[in-house]
A and B are shown apart, each in its own frame.
Chain A
Amino acid sequence: MASRWRWFHQLGSPKWFFEKSAKWLPWIWAGTLILLAVGLYYSLWASPIEARQGQGHTVRIMYIHVPAAALSMIGYVAMAIASTIGLVWKMKMAFAASRAIAPIGAAMTFIALFTGAVWGKPTWGTWWEWDARLTSELLLLFLYLGFIALHSSFAERAKADKAAAVLAIVGVINVPIIYFSVKWWNTLHQGYSVTQKGALAPEFQVPLFTMIGAFYLLFIGLVIMRLRVEILMREQKSRWVADWATEQKAQKRGV
């Protein structure tokens, strides 16, 4: 039982995570690049155009819009879970993780909103509509930005962690609203197409799921990168950080 939870306890150690993540990153980037290359080939070249609804080539926007929108919600849920762990178990790394997810989640939300607006113009005839899905997604972007702003406004890091964690936990209520908005309200946005069986033709599934895989790996890689920065910011005075910096210096000199 103890060995089953060992990885969780190891994740709580900034030093352990910082050292291990340096070895994980090249593999994550390699996987991301391979999936991106295959995904972009299918999504921009090999996949067919949409003929049934007359969307034509604009269906290609789906291959970046859907992964970004999914990650915007998953990122916020992950941030709320990390914040809860931080508040309940006083785990330093959990607060650092929630701070690391925020800018990437905000970027994914922005991409989802931007590509959605660009896709909406030729499909719906409008860039923006104040319907439930679009408005709640915009609210998600403000929640991410609010989290970052609130965290930055405190001089003391412990207070910033706690205040931002409360916002992350309260704001998570918006995620099911985004997801179920197309079911609960009559929205301009289309209903479930990825999670509902048979809603998406098989020829669109290959590029979409390849791009979803690429975006997920990219998201994980970026979060790890930002988390490494966050760890350095928090552990600047630690002996192991000094050792790491001198080790880097020695490696550059070829010692």
Chain B
Amino acid sequence: MNSFHELIFMGKHGAYVWSSYLMTFIVLLGIFYWFRYLLKSLRSQVKSELNSSDSNTVRPRARKLKVEKNESRD
């Protein structure tokens, strides 16, 4: 390779060479980001499930005291 012009046009075959490299780049990078997105969304799903289970946890309440009305007070 002697010049930048040759790198771009590759004789008459620039379109063939560059389209091959570009498609490979797009497919592989697309897969990489897709997997990253899946991992992140699963992580946030687990977190939100944990948060919701924390808030829905039934805590033991203090027993209500029974107050008997004394009607014969007066």
Contacts and interface: CB of A to CB of B under 8 A. Distances in A.
B65 interface: no
A131 B50 CA distance: 55
B contact face: mostly helix, strand, loop, or mixed: helix
Interface residues on A, range: 35 or more
A contact face: mostly helix, strand, loop, or mixed: helix
Contacts of A57: 10-11, 13-14, 17
Contacts of A232: 39, 42-43, 46
Interface stretch (A84-92, A113-121, A135-143, A194-202): A113-121
Contacts of B38: 229
A145 interface: no
B28 A107 contact: yes
Interface residues of B, number: 28
Given A225-B36, A248-B43, A107 B13 contact: no
A104 B38 CA distance: 15
Interface string A46-62: 10010000001110110
B57 to A, nearest CB: 14
Contacts of A128: none
B46 A245 contact: yes
A119 B20 contact: yes
Interface in B1-56: 1, 7, 10-14, 16-17, 19-21, 23-24, 27-28, 31-32, 35-36, 38-39, 42-43, 45-47, 50
A255 interface: no
A61 B15 CA distance: 11
Contacts of A245: 43, 46-47, 50
A229 B39 CA distance: 5
A115 B20 contact: yes
B16 A121 contact: yes
Given A46-B1, A229-B38, A229-B42, A118 B19 contact: yes
A206 interface: no
Contacts of B13: 56-58, 122
Interface of B: 1, 7, 10-14, 16-17, 19-21, 23-24, 27-28, 31-32, 35-36, 38-39, 42-43, 45-47, 50
Given A46-B1, A68-B24, 12 more contacts: A45-B7, A56-B11, A56-B12, A64-B21, A104-B31, A114-B20, A118-B16, A225-B36, A229-B38, A242-B46, A245-B47, A246-B50
Interface of A: 44-46, 49, 56-58, 60-61, 64-65, 68, 103-104, 107, 110-111, 114-115, 118-119, 121-122, 218, 222, 225-226, 228-229, 232-233, 236, 241-242, 244-246, 248-249
